[in-house]
Amino acid sequence: MHKPEPAAYQQLYSRYIKLVDQQPVLETLENLKTSTYNLFSNLTDEQANHAYGPGKWTVKEVAGHLIDCERTFAYRAMAFSRGQQELPGFNENVYAELSNANNRTIQNLAAELKTLREANLYMLRAMTPEQIEMRGIANGMPQQVNTLVYIIAGHEVHHLNILKERYGI
């Protein structure tokens, strides 16, 4: 899978895509599966329930957000690779509010994210080169399957950086 050119995606996704290094993106996703799982599953309850400011997400909600976004972007990739032309957007803040993440353990959230990633890697590895290049519209914006895979990886790195910088994790 090749790294998408800037002309192939909307500017708002550039902050995620630029965070994906030069190793193959599926290898990046595989490495993140393990490192993110280890990070979350080794947190204490106090760390997992921490929010760095009023109105900010707890670490558990960040984990839930990563799950929601991975599931959404992977579904888009699958749908577009199967010929679906258009999908709706989603409101990440509403999803986080209704996720029930704060009533779960961080270890449970970590296991769900790891399992979801494993399933998505099976799906992505089975796609043909033609499917990887397919496009659709999500949230009113054109998107390509290849770009969605890079967004999944970069989005996770983005939030891991925030966890380090603002949450001290």
Q: Which amino acid would we find at residue 25?
A: V
Residue with tokens 């043909």: 128
pLDDT for 10 beyond 90: no
Categorize the per-residue pLDDT at 109 as very low, low, confident or very high, splitting at 50, 70 and 90: very high
Q: What is the pTM of this model?
A: 0.96
**Tens of pLDDT along 150-165?**
999 999 999 999 999 9
At residue 112, the pLDDT reads 98
Q: What is the pLDDT, as a whole number, of residue 6?
A: 84
Sheet containing 141-144: order of strands: 86-87, 135-138, 141-144
In this prediction, residue 83 carries a pLDDT of: 97
- Is the confidence at residue 91, as pLDDT, over 90? yes
CA dist 35 and 106 (Å) reads 14
- Pairing of β 135-138 and β 141-144: antiparallel
Q: Would you say residue 5 has pLDDT above 90?
A: no
Residue 7 has pLDDT above 90, yes or no: no
CATH class as words, domain 6-167: mainly alpha
Share of the chain above pLDDT 70, in %: 100
Q: Is the pLDDT of residue 74 over 90?
A: yes
Residue 104 has pLDDT above 90, yes or no: yes
Residue among 92, 70, 86 nearest 142 (CA): 86
pLDDT tens string 24-65: 999 999 999 999 999 999 999 999 999 999 999 999 999 999
Complete DSSP assignment for the chain: -PPPPGGGS-GGGHHHHTTS-SS-HHHHHHHHHHHHHHHHHT--HHHHT--SSTTPPPHHHHHHHHHHHHHHHHHHHHHHHTT--EE----HHHHHHTS-GGGS-HHHHHHHHHHHHHHHHHHHHH--HHHHT-EEEETTEEEEHHHHHHHHHHHHHHHHHHHHHHH--
Return the pLDDT at 8.
81
